[in-house]
Amino acid sequence: MELITLRGIEKTYQMGDIAVPVLKGISLAIRQGELVALTGSSGSGKSTLMNILGCLDHPSTGEYWLDGQEVSRLSTDERALLRNRKLGFVFQSFNLLARTSALENVAMPLSYTAEHLSDRAARERAAEMLARVGLADRLDHHPSQLSGGQQQRVAIARALINHPPVLFADEPTGNLDSRTSEEVLQMFERLNIEDGITIIMVTHDPKVASHAQRVIRMDDGVILDEASSGGPGRESKGGGA
Amino acid sequence: MKVYTTARTAFRALRRNPMRAMLTTLGIVIGVGAVIAMMEIGAGSSAALKKTIASMGANVLVIRPGTASSGGITFGSGSTTTMTPEDSQAILRECPSIRNATPMVRARAQVVYGNRNWVPNAIYGVTPAYLDVQDWSILAEGDPFSERDVLNGNRVCLLGQTLVRELFEGESPVGKEIRIKNIAFRVIGVLTPKGANMMGLDQDDVIIAPWTTIKYRVTGLSLANTNQSAVAATDSVNTLSNLYPTTPRSLYPERSSIQQANNPMPIRFANIDQVMAAASNAEEISAAIEQISLVLRERHRIRPGEPDDFIIRDMAELTRTLSTTTKLMTNLLLAVALISLVVGGVGIMNIMLVSVTERTREIGLRMAVGARGRDILRQFLVEAVVLCLTGGAMGIVLGHGGSLLVRTLLNWPVETSPSAIAASVLVSAGVGIIFGFYPAWKASRLDPIEALRYE
């Protein structure tokens, strides 16, 4: 079943009088349960595509079907609601709230959900999520008391709190050393396999991309090529369209 | 997003930088504190003022004869002899806004008891209604004189507290005899203490007696002649021309009974110094003045267009002037306090703008996980309101403490005003909303992509 379908997505930014096309007709289908890496050099449009996929932005033209719903023409508020229910985000710089416990950081998205959870239920759910990322003993730690890998795991727990079908990770290992990177990536793989969560990562690191089953390479606003899972380093040069 | 959650989030956000939050609210604290202190002190002063005026006999109207003039020279109010006791009765009878009225004659004379003497501020000749007019009906001792005493010109009197102190040295004066200008008066009652009035006049330094007695037995004069100082000087001193100095002087030449029988003269009216009337309440004063004016113009046969031959004075004029003054002062101070509130509000806005900039990434994150623009707006608005309300609460405590301090240290009258407290809670919340809105609106309009990328 296809969770995400893009048809002819274009995005053009208006810089004064000049129209700058960033995405030039992207069509893409991502099935449920896939672990996809989106790679490309900087300026290739992968971040813009990510923003559109993540419903932070809407395309200039084209269709975007997410979970059987056309979302490219939704209003700002409708998109916020959609992000809350169906999408999870993990950022390069973690973006945890400073001086706020891990538990409260994880529970934060719940305050924007339509279904009002009681305070206790929210905390229980947050604790459960933290346990799932292996931080059951760090509930009351503040971000400054956690290592980079732990912080990113808190961020992952936060992204999963609403049980979204899709998780977006924007350079999730960009601020981590290779060992903790590996930990985080393994966590992604586990979530992907065990819970069937669709994960879409943006990365320019081939080593990170190698963890994905499917690598989509972008260049200058179009999809250059796609490769299904293979050995590390092989898809860095691309294996043909 | 629930209100409770929003408020908690706001508290948490403020707790991240408690020092800055404290300093930010300082403007509000001072503003609200000043407002509360001003209101309480102002309310206290005007309450004290009202009490003072009430003890002077609020609602009292004094009707005096007008001024006589001759050849362009006026002789001052009271120099015509047009007021009569009948005027007083007519006022009471015909003016619905008047509660009570009494004629009054005034005298000033030496009072003797035993080997002590004293010159009271005033000797008032009135009817028993005077006590009601002046809110003085409760006596410290004894009983008031009656209408019969007035009709008969009985030599009875009521003493003020000052006289009791000066003449009797703590002894009870009831039943004793004092002499006013060598005329013996029996003391039948003692007035309750009233203290000095607003002008510093000792209101207890008085003797009250039936006006007929004072007029016909003590002075035999009216203000028409006492006002001219030369006459007054010869009044109390023994002179050779007056064989029996204490014999009451007749206003008119005495006529023998034969003369009276031969050609009876129409009964002349007795003139009095003034009429004191009490309006039924403060609101009725202006109506009462109009009614009295109508009645007296009719009784004195004054044609339309001719000036009044009487003057009506009301204490309310004084009351109004004084309360206007205090109100003006309170408003002035309130304006200053409000300015400080506005300054405090600008401070809040400033800090909230800084806070929005500083927390751009947080805003971006919250938007990414599903916060709508209005959620962000509400969060920052609630934060500003929480800041202001906390400041307001501290200000209320500060202002109330300040006014209590003023009361204990300076002995100023102070009155807690719940309405001021309620108002300042509303005002500080209002300041929070007004000055917090722009930063919150700015935060809610952020683009999540830009905000997340913000360094």
Residue A240 covered by a domain: no
pLDDT at position B224, please? 42
Of B381, B356, B442, B359, whose CA–CA distance to A98 is shortest?
B359
* CATH number of the domain encompassing residue A157: 3.40.50.300
Of A232, A238, A186, A195, whose CA–CA distance to A216 is shortest?
A238
Per-residue pLDDT tens digits for B338-383 = 787 788 888 888 888 888 898 899 999 999 998 999 989 998 999 8
- Which residues from A are below 8 Å from B449, CB to CB? 51, 56-57
Q: What does the alpha-carbon distance between residue B395 and residue B397 come to, in Å, rounded to a whole number?
A: 5
Tell me the pLDDT band of B316, cut-offs 50, 70 and 90: low
Residue A145 covered by a domain: yes
Per-residue pLDDT tens digits for A4-61 = 999 999 999 988 889 999 999 999 999 999 999 999 888 888 889 999 999 998 899 9
Residue A122 covered by a domain: yes
| Residue A105, min C-alpha distance to chain B (Å) | 11
Per-residue pLDDT tens digits for A47-70 = 899 999 999 988 999 999 998 899
pLDDT: which is higher, B426 or B225 = B426
Per-residue pLDDT tens digits for B12-58 = 888 888 888 888 888 888 888 888 888 888 778 777 776 666 666 66
Number of domains making up chain A: 1
C-alpha distances (whole Å) from A10 to each of A24, A71, A110, B130 are 5, 14, 33, 99
Tell me the pLDDT band of A204, cut-offs 50, 70 and 90: confident
Average pLDDT over residues A214-223: 91
Tell me how crowded residue A151 is: count the other CB atoms within 10 A of its CB: 24
Residue A210 covered by a domain: yes
Asked if A112 lies within 8 A of B449 by C-beta distance, the reply is no
DSSP structural state of residue A135: -
Contacts of A198 (CB under 8 A, 6+ apart): A3, A4, A30, A31, A32, A33, A34, A35, A36, A165, A166, A167, A192
- Closest Cβ opposite residue B370 in set A83, A91, A104: A83
Share of chain A above pLDDT 70, in %: 93
Does B419 have pLDDT greater than 50? yes
| Strands (E) located in chain A | 2-15, 18-31, 35-40, 61-66, 69-70, 87-90, 166-170, 198-202, 214-219, 222-228
- Whole-model pTM? 0.66
Does B74 have pLDDT greater than 80? no
Tell me the pLDDT band of A156, cut-offs 50, 70 and 90: very high
- Closest Cβ opposite residue B368 in set A83, A85, A100: A83
Per-residue pLDDT tens digits for B167-197 = 998 789 999 999 998 889 999 999 998 887 7
pLDDT at position B56, please? 62
By a Cβ cutoff of 8 Å, what residues of chain B touch chain A? 1-2, 5-6, 9, 12, 15-16, 361-362, 364-375, 448-449, 452
Tell me the pLDDT band of B77, cut-offs 50, 70 and 90: low
Looking at residue A191, its amino acid is: L
- Which residues from A are below 8 Å from B5, CB to CB? 111
Tell me how crowded residue A214 is: count the other CB atoms within 10 A of its CB: 18
- Which residues from A are below 8 Å from B372, CB to CB? 76-77, 80-81, 112
Residue A114: closest C-alpha in chain B: B1
Residue A116 covered by a domain: yes
Residue B6: closest C-alpha in chain A: A111
**What is the domain partition of chain B in residue ranges?**
3-53+321-453, 105-269
- Closest Cβ opposite residue A91 in set B6, B367, B452: B452
Does A235 have pLDDT greater than 50? no
pLDDT at position B176, please? 92
Which two tokens mark B441? 């609106």
Q: Which stretch, A231-240, B25-34, B311-320, B329-338, has highest mean pLDDT?
A: B25-34
Does B255 have pLDDT greater than 70? no
Mutate: best of A55, A57, A90, A97, partner B, most B CBs <10 A: A97
* Poorest-pLDDT segment among A204-213, B54-63, B142-151, B251-260: B251-260
Which two tokens mark A186? 């393994």
The CA-based angle A116-A120-A124, given to 5 degrees, is 105
pLDDT: which is higher, B386 or B8 = B386
Average pLDDT over residues B329-337: 77
